[in-house]
Amino acid sequence: MPTTSGIWPQDRADFVDLLHRALDDRDVRDALRADPSGESALRLRARALAAADEIAAAADEEYRVYLAVRATAREPRSSAGSAGSAGSTGWLLLAVLAPSVSAAAGVVLLLIGYGVGLWGLAPEFAASVRTAGWLLTGFAAVTAAAGLLALLVTAVRGQGPRRPRRSTVADAADAEAARQRWRRALLERGLRPYLRRHLPDTPAPDQDPRTVA
């Protein structure tokens, strides 16, 4: 879980939004109305903004949870599965093509070798061509068997249990839920108590406000 030393810049907008909400509480508004010039409200707002990190410490636990969940939601999905699938497809393609190409080449060489042999021309060349043809034919048989085995193994693996992967939508929902928990804690334990502690003193009803020090 990440440690924090205040609110991250991208989360300052949440702090400002909650500050405005806290300033709009009835008891806070009533206390600030004692100054019709509005300067007390401006000073209190500026003071809270300057003490943002101090205020946010009251909800530090919820904020650390929110940062951890948000980081998890933003992590790129692993491409290991797709890479493995592409590798399997490549091997299967090779297993299909190799036997057919080898068999075709072997047949051609055998036809050439036996044809040249029938005419009695270049017997050594004919023998070499026939040998190469039989080798290619044998290679085609071996690769065909290997390809069949690869198909069977792939089919068995594909039928195995698969672990369901969380969707991006679910991760985003978790991050938003953690954000809302942090916002509630910041408002209730941080901003509202801070503003109430620093409200300007309200003069007594029978006292002239101009005489208050």
User: For position 75, what pLDDT does the model report?
Assistant: 67
- pLDDT the model gives residue 213: 36
pLDDT at residue 90 is higher than 80? no
For residue 158, pLDDT over 80 is answered with no
Q: Which contacts of 191-197 are long-range, i.e. CB under 8 A and separated by 24 or more positions? A: 191/18, 191/19, 191/21, 191/22, 191/48, 191/55, 192/22, 192/25, 193/58, 194/48, 194/51, 194/54, 194/55, 195/22, 195/23, 195/25, 195/28, 195/44, 195/48, 196/27, 196/28
Mean pLDDT of 170-182: 93
- pLDDT: which is higher, 192 or 166: 192
Supply the pTM of this predicted model: 0.55
